[in-house]
């Protein structure tokens, strides 16, 4: 396997790292690497099971089938918004936990879609042929969008499977992913929040960890539990130190193939803005949560999500502020340009980033919606745009309204999940203030505020909307107006215009340049380099091991006793308290049972809930986090101290059997 420079060898603190890098495509698996490095034969049967046993949850996480009756495991934090949505008005299942002792007791999620990959088809030739030499950015973008919409629609009609064209290698490759889709998904089990996220924000991205970060759901089809073609058997032994483990999941976004100009722009413009936005929203949610128990419950999902996002951005920013990271990128980019004898694509990308700089905030605020941080506004915007877009031919619509994607969009739009107007008002007031801070109060911002303060304008909009309830929402999709829809329409012309500028002057320029770079990269390396992550199914692998940090040697695994010891040391103070069930049941447990473990596998956000498998394809763990040293992995891979952290399979069985009286669930996992 040929690689040079930045693509394989990274210098961190003077240490040369040759590591188990890669989030690999299942139709281009790393057979040779696994055989050479680990003596493991990655068989077709293993790959098929990995593909059809893995699950993508469209709220942003991964999971896997773990029984013949459609049982799915994922993280508690992935399932948190669903657990909150199915909680009765008088119960907080997120905090107190839940167990369905029979299938009849399982709680149906109102708007969860899960996808199970069935097939991958290479459509690169068809997509790339649509963009002709000499096309302007406007024409090229429209041509590519049209052919992708056509491919997806024809595939959906032919196969009845969800059909997504995925851009890989930054436009060098296009694959059509075909998924079975399930929308009847029911909650089976969730532990208490205090043990699922023990340590809370304090320990987020840290290690050692003591988290039962799992939840179980069941997929149904036509009212009956799904009988998956493949599922992962639950290991009753788990991993040992230095074992090979393979992770199947859906990593979100990486930037490892970005150019130096793109990474410098991310450091100097994108990340400072994103951090400011996350910090402002997090502060609002903390203040709202402090009002009382009811408010804390309302905000819990958003607060956890935003706090996590803020830490991710901070880790990325720290990585790009490290001169060694960008110096390594600069060195290897220059070497590759010299080898290819053509610097023009890199120059075009650098120029596009300069074009993007004055557009970026306006795009983020108006089109991405950072100025309108409200689920109700998101609904309003979709209702407004659906009316406009569905009147057009499929090939010329905005992609999110294409025929192939409408069913998934409608599932979210018309969800009966509860919304909280008071929380929506606070978030909208804060984001309108953020809008004024960044764009001033004249022009469009003045029209948005309509002569009122952000707080008063948000109160007026949320107080007047009918979109909180599903029935009026469905009527408004066809006809009529609403205060939030009027706001969405007010900004739509400028939002569409800045989107058009971004797509045609920035995104399209970058795509065409990256396609050229990708062709050069393929000529040298073939597919020996994994593409950047795209929230599609990948295989990653590594070894189970601890690491040295701050003069300490951290073991590869923690145990149940460690959770009690840490809670006692910190006097059971939030967020290091343990549920009553755990404190009272301590003597029932085998305290030397492994709890969490660390490995070098290449994972990022989106891998939350990923099955962690051994050589036999058995599930030995459920991935739930990275440590802080792993936040650099968005840009480069290292295993010096970077680790991914998983819940050990034995800790799940031990707690189900001895604390939750969930013997039937444990039996379903292990078959006895």
pTM of the model: 0.94
For 603-615, write each residue's pLDDT tens digit: 999 999 999 999 9
Q: Looking at residue 523, what is its pLDDT? A: 83
Q: Looking at residue 526, what is its pLDDT? A: 79
For 392-449, write each residue's pLDDT tens digit: 999 999 999 999 999 999 999 999 999 999 999 999 999 999 999 999 999 999 999 9
**Dist. CA 356–CA 502, nearest whole Å:** 7
pLDDT-based confidence at residue 529 (cuts at 50, 70, 90): confident
**Dist. CA 658–CA 591, nearest whole Å:** 12
**Dist. CA 40–CA 446, nearest whole Å:** 63
SS (H, E, C) 104-149: HHCEECCCCCEEEEEEEEECHHHHHHCCCCCCCHHHHHHHHHHHHH
Pair 76, 84: CB distance under 8 Å = no
Q: Tell me the mean pLDDT in the region 488-493.
A: 98
Q: Looking at residue 521, what is its pLDDT? A: 87
Contacts of residue 587, defined as CB under 8 A and 6 or more positions apart, other chains included, come to: none
In Å, how far are 68, 91, 425, 437, 453 from 448, measured between CA atoms? 53, 38, 15, 14, 10
Flag whether pLDDT at 13 surpasses 60. no
pLDDT-based confidence at residue 9 (cuts at 50, 70, 90): very low
Taking the domain 20-113+183-255+531-670, which CATH number applies?
2.40.10.120
For the chain, which residues make up each domain, given as ranges? 20-113+183-255+531-670, 115-182, 260-523
Flag whether pLDDT at 180 surpasses 80. yes
DSSP label at residue 2: -
Q: Looking at residue 12, what is its pLDDT? A: 33
Largest CA distance in the chain: 74
Nearest to 551 by CA among 644, 438, 641: 641
For 590-638, write each residue's pLDDT tens digit: 999 999 999 999 999 999 999 999 999 999 999 999 999 999 999 999 9
Nearest to 383 by CA among 482, 491, 500, 471: 482
Beta bridge mates, 244? 543
Pairing mode of beta strands 98-99, 114-122: unpaired
First to last CA, the chain: 44
pLDDT-based confidence at residue 528 (cuts at 50, 70, 90): confident
For 205-247, write each residue's pLDDT tens digit: 999 999 999 999 999 999 999 999 999 999 999 999 999 999 9
Contacts of residue 74, defined as CB under 8 A and 6 or more positions apart, other chains included, come to: 55, 57, 61, 62, 63, 64, 214, 215, 217, 608, 609, 622
Q: Looking at residue 8, what is its pLDDT? A: 36
pLDDT-based confidence at residue 5 (cuts at 50, 70, 90): very low
**Dist. CA 401–CA 562, nearest whole Å:** 50
Q: Tell me the mean pLDDT in the region 193-202.
A: 97
Q: Tell me the mean pLDDT in the region 645-660.
A: 98
Long-range contacts made by residues 29-36, C-beta under 8 angstroms, separation at least 24? Answer: 29/539, 30/530, 30/539, 30/541, 32/1, 33/1, 34/244, 34/541, 36/1
Q: Looking at residue 527, what is its pLDDT? A: 78
Flag whether pLDDT at 525 surpasses 90. no
């Amino acid at each position: 396997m040929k690689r040079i420079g930045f693509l394989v060898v990274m210098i961190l603190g003077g240490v040369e790292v040759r590591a188990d890098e890669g989030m690999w495509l299942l139709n281009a698996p790393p057979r040779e690497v696994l055989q050479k490095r680990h003596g493991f034969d990655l068989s077709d049967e293993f790959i098929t099971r990995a593909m059809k046993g893995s699950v993508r949850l469209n709220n942003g996480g991964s999971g896997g089938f773990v029984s013949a009756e459609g049982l799915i495991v994922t993280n508690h934090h992935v399932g948190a918004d669903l657990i909150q949505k199915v909680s009765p008005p008088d119960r907080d299942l997120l905090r107190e936990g839940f167990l369905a002792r029979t299938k009849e007791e399982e709680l149906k999620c109102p708007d969860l879609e899960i996808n199970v990959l069935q097939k991958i088809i290479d459509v690169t030739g068809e997509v790339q042929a649509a963009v002709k030499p000499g096309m302007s950015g406007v024409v090229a973008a429209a041509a590519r969008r049209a052919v992708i919409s056509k491919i997806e629609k024809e595939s959906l009609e032919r196969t009845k499977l969800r059909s997504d064209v995925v851009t890989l290698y930054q436009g060098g490759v296009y694959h059509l992913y075909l998924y079975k889709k399930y929308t009847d998904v029911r909650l089976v089990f969730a532990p208490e929040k205090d043990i699922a996220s023990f340590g809370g924000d304090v320990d987020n991205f840290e290690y050692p960890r003591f988290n039962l970060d799992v939840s179980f759901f069941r997929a149904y089809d036509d009212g009956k539990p799904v009988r998956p073609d493949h599922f992962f058997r639950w290991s009753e032994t788990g991993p040992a130190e230095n074992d090979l483990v393979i992770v199947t999941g859906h990593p979100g976004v990486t930037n490892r193939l970005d150019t130096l100009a793109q990474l410098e722009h991310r450091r100097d413009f994108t990340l400072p803005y994103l951090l400011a936005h996350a910090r402002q929203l997090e502060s609002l949610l903390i203040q709202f949560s402090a009002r009382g128990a009811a408010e804390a419950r309302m905000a819990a999902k958003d607060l956890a999500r935003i706090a996590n996002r803020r830490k991710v951005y901070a880790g990325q920013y720290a990585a790009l502020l490290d001169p060694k990271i960008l110096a390594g990128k600069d060195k290897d980019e220059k070497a590759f340009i010299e080898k290819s004898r053509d610097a023009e694509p890199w120059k075009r990308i650098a120029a596009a980033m300069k074009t993007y700089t004055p557009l970026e905030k306006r795009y983020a605020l108006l089109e991405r919606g950072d100025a309108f941080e409200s689920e109700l506004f998101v609904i309003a915007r979709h209702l407004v745009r659906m009316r406009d877009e569905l009147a057009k031919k499929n090939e010329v619509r905005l992609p999110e309204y294409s025929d192939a994607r409408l069913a998934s969009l409608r599932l979210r739009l018309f969800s009966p999940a509860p919304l909280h107007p008071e929380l929506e008002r606070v978030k909208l007031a804060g984001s309108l203030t953020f809008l004024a801070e960044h764009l001033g109060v004249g022009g469009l911002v003045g029209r948005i505020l309509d002569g009122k303060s952000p707080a008063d304008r948000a109160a007026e909009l949320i107080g007047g909307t009918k979109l909180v309830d599903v029935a009026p929402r469905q009527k408004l999709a066809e006809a009529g107006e609403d205060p939030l829809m009027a706001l969405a329409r007010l900004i739509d012309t400028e939002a569409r215009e800045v989107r058009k500028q971004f797509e045609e002057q920035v995104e399209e320029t970058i795509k065409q340049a990256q396609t050229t770079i990708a062709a050069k990269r393929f000529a040298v390396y073939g597919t020996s380099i994994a593409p950047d992550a795209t929230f599609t199914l990948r295989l990653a692998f590594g070894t189970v091991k601890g690491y040295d940090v701050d003069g300490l040697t951290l073991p590869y695994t923690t145990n149940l006793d460690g959770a009690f010891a840490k809670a006692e040391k910190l006097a059971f103070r939030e967020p290091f308290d343990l549920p009553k069930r755990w404190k009272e049941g301590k003597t029932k447990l085998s305290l030397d049972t492994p709890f969490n473990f660390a490995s070098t596998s290449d994972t990022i956000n989106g891998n939350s809930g990923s099955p962690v498998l051994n050589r036999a394809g058995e599930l030995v763990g459920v991935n739930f986090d990275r440590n802080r040293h792993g936040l650099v992995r968005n840009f480069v891979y290292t295993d010096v101290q970077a680790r991914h952290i998983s819940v050990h399979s034995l800790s799940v069985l031990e707690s189900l059997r001895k604390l939750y009286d969930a013997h039937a669930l444990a039996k379903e996992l292990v078959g006895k």
